[in-house]
Structure formats: C-alpha cells, structure tokens
Amino acid sequence: MLLELKSRLQVESCEEYLSRLYEKIEKSQLNGFTTLAKESALEQAKEFDKNHGKGLLAGVPIAIKECISTNGIETNCSSKILRGYIPPYDAHVIERLKAEGAIIMGKTNMDEFAMGSSTETSCFGPTKNPWDRSCVPGGSSGGSAAVVAGGEAPCALGSDTGGSVRCPASFCGIVGLKPTYGLVSRYGLVAYANSLEQIGPLTHTVEDTALLMEVIAGHDERDSTSARGQNCSYLSGLKNGVAGLKIGIPKEYFGEGVNRDVEKAVWQAIHKLEALGASWQEVSLPHTRYALAAYYVIAMSEASSNLARFDGLRYGLREGEDKDWHTTFSAIRAQGFGPEVKRRIILGTYALSAGYYGRYYLKALQVRTLIKEDFLRAFKEVDILASPTMPIPAFRIGERINDPLSLYMADVFTVPINLAGVPAVSVPCGFAGRLPIGLQLMGPHFGEATVLSAASAFEAATPFHEAVPEVI
C-alpha cells in the first residue's frame, strides 16, 4: 500500500492527499490524534509536489505515538505532567523517517506513559476502536492503531513494552511488529521500562511493515542497547513463502481463558499456513505461567525509577505557588500523574525497596531468564511460533478499567515475547462478530525476515487485511 501510495504521489498532489486526511481527522470521532503538525506537514507536502524528493518514504505521511520525541512538536506521553513539553530534538527513528522523505502528520493518543492495554488512561480521554466505537482499540499504542485502521493515516509508529504494538494491531485489524530488542534504537523514546520496550510499525499490510523496518532498523551509537551488524533487507524476503517452514504451537497459549472465536480463527490460520507448505508441531514454553508476574514486577520497578525525573521543576506541569521542595514535588506528581501511573510507581518502588528487592525484582529477573531459555529451546526445534495475539477480541470502553488485574491478564500472550527479547508480528486472521482477531507469529532473535515472510504468505492467501471498518 505504501509503495502504491509513493507511486501515486508522483503524479497526484501530495498536498491534496494530506489535506483530505486532515479533513477526515477533523471530523473524526476516534480521538486518535492528540497533536497535529498540519502547518509544517502541508509545507513539506508542497515542497514534495514541487521537487518530488527521493527516499524510501518520500511524500508518505506518518503518525507518531506521543512518547516518541519530535523536534518542535509537543511530546507529552498523554500525561498531564508533560503537557506543553516540546522536545528540542528528534528521536533516532524520526531522524530516519525524515531522511527518507516521510512527512510527520502529528502525535497519537496512548495510555499515559504507555501504561495500559486499552488507551483509556490518557489525559486526553479514551481512543475508540474504528470497528466499534463503543470498544477500546487496545493499548498502549491505541491511537496509532486506530488512525491507521480508520483511514486517517497510511502508517504509524508505536512502542511495545508488553504488547503495546501487537495488542492494538489485533484489536484494530491491522499489522503490528515488535522487533527484536536492540534492533531499533530507543534514543528519543520516553522511557517506561528500558529493558523491555521497542519502537515498532503499525500498518495495513506486511509489506508496509517491512518497508518501515527498512527505514527505522539499524545501529545507533546514542543507544547503548542498540545491536550492531544486524542490517538486512526485510522487503526482499517477503516472497519466500512458507514451504518447509516448521511452526511451533505453544500448548500454554491455547485453552482456558481464550475466547472460542479467537481460538478457532487462529487454528484456521495455522491450517492455512499448513496448506501453503508449512508443518506444525506442539511445543512447550513451561514458564509462561510466571510471565505476567515477572513482567509486571520488572516493568513497574523500572517505571518507578524512570518516572522519578518528572517533577515539574525543570519542564512540564507547574501549578500553584512553590513551597518547600518535598511539598512542591509531591503536589506536582499528585496532580500530574493519573491513577494507573501512580499505582505502578508505588508497586515498583515497593518491589525495589530494602528487604524486598531480592524477593521480588531479582526473582523476577531470574524468571525472565527461564522464559528466555524456553524460547531458545523451542527455536532449536521449529522456525517460528504461532499463537493468538490476544486471548479475547476488543472489549467495551469502561468494562475493565476499574479492574486492573483483568487488564493485566489480557497481556498473557504478549509479555513473554518482551521478556525474551524476540520479535513477534500480529496479522489479521479473522473476526469475532465484527471485531478483528490477530494471529501472532514469533521468531528467534533477529528473525524478523522469517516472521515477516510467513506473515506475508498468510496475508496473500487470505482476505482479512482487505476488510475496512465503517467509520465516519
């Protein structure tokens, strides 16, 4: 789709195309965008129409999640405490997008500081699912997924700490990739949990995801966790098919807690891959049952440390008259952070406190190692793994927000991937009523090419990626 759009923009007006998108956004009921860079974007479109600049994404508009720094465009992580903060620099991924001619449309709504699975904790209010506006779009990159699925942007970037790209991709019926940890630079990504998060694309097709990965992947000296020597072409391998591919089906990812429609659609997808030449076998990831607990201890601990920097004293929220440091600091954070962020900071601080660090945080790190070893063993037997992305279809807005445990449980099939650091993609594989279902394909470290090739083969053999929601 993006390659077709690039070709079309060589003969049609990029400015007119972008203006139509902004007109649609202004009438939208999705609440997907928080900030629009309309003036600068239209100026770039005019420049493109005049000179037809070169680059892999020349003239292509893209939406950016609120937690990715954009020079001159507000970056507030959908939190009151950062309202008004305009970064003086671009994230590494933004630099790469601009170097390839992409046009930054604006910033998209998200769960506050990426803490959530429904995009309901945002200070801007919830984003709505284009397939059913009474339902959530998933989170935390719900705004990015909703604007792509709703036709308000041709592609977007999100970030994935425990499923925050794949969850909304599944709920909104689009493609979302969580890359291998270290493959995409985190420089300029506002940190939630440093050891878990990765920036990833949200698009209509697997080819579009591969194209964006061609642009954003690669080593960056400014990110100490950035991998070296892993550059490859993700587009060139998309036609390899799945003949001879061995697919592992983790038995822990099916059964109790999985919606019947979801399980049926995913098994039909597995059988479709089998018909295309792949084979499958059951495998075990035995430490999966400990993944959620380990993940939330690690993520909340890292969040409590990372979010200590947001105090309103240097930038961000500053309301009322200053008193002594402790009183002012506490008041700003009490006003600026929402309930879910406060909950995670408190739990994370507790887990890191004297007397509990060894009992919780260190133990969670040990479990993380066991989970990673599960994946390494599995990939000695098979090439990729397949499972549901989410155990359920999108739920109603307000249905789970007051029950944090049920929200956390929704991440059961996505968080192990972040703990292990391996790549995973979600592709549309069916519907539960009118709500999309996602198939999750997981690969070994730096196995994006194989995962995307399998996803592309499935996509080419099925019609699900062509379905369009009826949105206003």
Residues paired with residue 428 on neighbouring β-strands, in sequence order:
438
| Among 394, 390, 310, 293, residue whose Cα is nearest residue 347 | 293
Question: Are 48 and 9 a contacting pair, CB within 8 Å?
Answer: yes
Residues of 439-449 as b/e, b for ≥16 C-beta within 10 angstroms?
bbbbbbbbbbb
Asked about 164 being catalytic, the answer comes back as yes
* Helices 448-460 + 260-275 axis angle, to 10: 100
Please list, in sequence order, all residues whose beta carbon lies within 8 angstroms of the beta carbon of residue 60, skipping any fewer than 6 positions away: 2, 5, 6, 9, 101, 102, 103, 154, 155
Tell me if 57 sits within 8 A of 101, measured CB to CB.
yes
Strand partners of residue 432: 435
Cβ-in-10-Å burial (0-12, 13-18, 19+) of 54 comes to exposed
Active site residue 264: no
Indicate which residue of 117, 164, 304, 426 is catalytic.
Answer: 164
Tokens 């989410």 — which residue? 390
Catalytic residue chosen out of the listed positions 78, 79, 140, 144: 140
DSSP class per residue in 203-265: ESSHHHHHHHHHHHBS--TT-TT--SS----SSTTGGG--TT-EEEEEGGGSSTTS-HHHHHH
Could you give the residue ranges of the DSSP H alpha helices within 68-180?
Answer: 92-99, 142-149, 166-172
Catalytic residues: 65, 140, 164
